[in-house]
Amino acid sequence: MSLYLEVKNLSVLYDRAIVLNGLSLHVNSGELVSLVGPNGAGKSTLLNAMSGLIKWQHDTLKGTVSGKITLNGSVKFDGAELINLPAHEIARKGIILCPERGRPFREMTVQENLEVGALFLDKKVADDNLEKVYALFPVLKKRSSQVAGTLSGGERTMLSIGRSLMSEPKILLIDEPSVGLAPLIKDSLFERIRDVQGMGVTILLTEQDVSFAFDLASRNYVISRGKIIAEGTSQELLANELIRETYLGL
């Protein structure tokens, strides 16, 4: 297997606060990798940096306090460097972010949200993809003409995964999919993420819920204060007393 996605020495500073501190990780083609760590460890920042959002914030907010962002290091996808690409070009290469809590376009209908995902594909392909997404998430079909702002938390997460799938992504970056969901919905989401992987999509997901992440992923990273402090399969990580107690709280 080739090195599909490779993050090397990635650093992000908000003003002088170091949020990512020379972080490195990789994801192979077809893999489902998880990144677990506590609140504030830098998980969202990592995914945002990979999808170009941090660069976008840096460029757009230049000259304001929130624009004082330093971004260093390398993010390579299939051999091509992404770190200096604008977010929309990263997306068009097939790297799609499913943000924390879904962040649907709240005033659009569910179907319109999905259509935004396939804006750059032919109508015919977009229609096919819509069918596929509806088959995967029947609840979205049921709610297709409902305004997305009225969806529940689980539905929003499913909508954001569906929206990403519309664009035929190569790799999904899913940010804390299980956060705030009821156990039953969590289980169903778990299965759907499996299905997405089964469709051949490579996945990197972040989680605070260690068991949710470990049961899904074939390989895991543990992040703490902007650094990867451990890596391995679930068994390997759980076998390590220190990591289990200090970082995973199990």
Partner 1 sequence: MFVSILINGLVSGAVYAILAIGFSLIFGVAKIMNMAHTAFYMLTAFLILGAITFLDVPLPLAAIASIIVAGLLGVVCYKLCFDRIKVHETAVMIISVAIAMLFEETILLTFGAQYQRIPPFVEGYFELGGVSILNQHFFTAGASIATLVGVWLLLSKTKLGMSIRAVDQDREIANVMGINVTKTSMQVMGISVILAGVAGAVTAPTIMVNPLMWTNPLVIVLSAVVLGGLGSIKGSAIAAFILGYAETLVVFLVPDGSFLRGAVSLIAMVLVLLIRPEGLFGVAFEEERL
Q: Which does 202 bind (CB under 5 to 8 A by kind): ligand ADP, Mg ion, partner 1, none?
A: none
Our finding on whether 44 is near Mg ion (CB under 5 A) is yes
Binding residues vs partner 1 (CB under 8 A): 51-53, 56-57, 60-64, 67, 86-88, 90-92, 96-97, 99, 103, 105-108, 112, 115-117, 119-120, 163, 167
Rounded to whole angstroms, how far apart are CA atoms 80 and 248?
Answer: 34
Q: Residue 165: in which H helix or E strand, if any?
A: helix 153-166
Q: Pick between residue 122 and residue 241 the one whose CB is nearest to partner 1.
A: 122
Looking at residue 149, the DSSP 8-state letter turns out to be G
Q: Which does 45 bind (CB under 5 to 8 A by kind): partner 1, ligand ADP, Mg ion, none?
A: ligand ADP
Using a 10 angstrom Cβ sphere, with 0-12 exposed, 13-18 middle and 19 or more buried, the burial of residue 190 is middle
Residue from 14, 56, 105, 190 touching ligand ADP (CB under 6 A): that is 14
Q: Pick between residue 106 and residue 194 the one whose CB is nearest to partner 1.
A: 106
Looking at residue 42, the DSSP 8-state letter turns out to be S
Tell me how far, at minimum, the Cβ of 87 lies from ligand ADP, in Å: 16
Render the burial of 14-44: b for 16+ CB within 10 Å, e for the rest.
beeeebbbebebbbeeebbbbbbbeeebbbb
Our finding on whether 65 is near ligand ADP (CB under 6 A) is no
Binding-site ranges for Mg ion (CB under 5 A)? 43-44
